[in-house]
Amino acid sequence: MKYAIALLIVLCSLSTYAHKETFPATLSGKVVDGQTGEPLIGARIAVDGHYYQVFTKPDGTFEIDVPVTEKSVIVVEMISYEDVTLSVSVLHSTNTISLVSN
């Protein structure tokens, strides 16, 4: 019985730890044209493998909830531009994403 209770406590602890790793955090940034530096309106920012997605505002800025894991990746898409896939950890150091037209 003691072992069953100890096992239950360990499993609950692991479950709580796993949940904390994927708790969403808000990531903000700006999407601009790679050549002109002008902000891009309506670019789609999505978290790969999740339902989180947003579109840039008129000034090119965005805020999105992302899971906090080492493998979290966002995809930035805009018509007439090449898609960009970035690790969330890269965006914590630089919050400007430059897109290159096709």
Classify residue 3: in a domain, yes or no.
Answer: no
Classify residue 12: in a domain, yes or no.
Answer: no
| Enclosing domain of residue 91 | 24-99
Report how far residue 51's alpha carbon sits from residue 61's, in angstroms, rounded to the nearest whole number.
20
pLDDT-based confidence at residue 8 (cuts at 50, 70, 90): very low
Classify residue 68: in a domain, yes or no.
Answer: yes
The structure's pTM equals: 0.70
The side-by-side arrangement of strands in the sheet containing 44-47 is 53-55, 44-47, 73-77, 84-87
Q: According to the model, what pLDDT value does residue 17 have?
A: 44
> 40-57 pLDDT, tens per residue?
999 999 988 888 899 999
Classify residue 8: in a domain, yes or no.
Answer: no
CATH code, domain with 40: 2.60.40.1120
Q: According to the model, what pLDDT value does residue 43 have?
A: 93
> 10-20 pLDDT, tens per residue?
444 444 444 44
- Domain count within the chain: 1
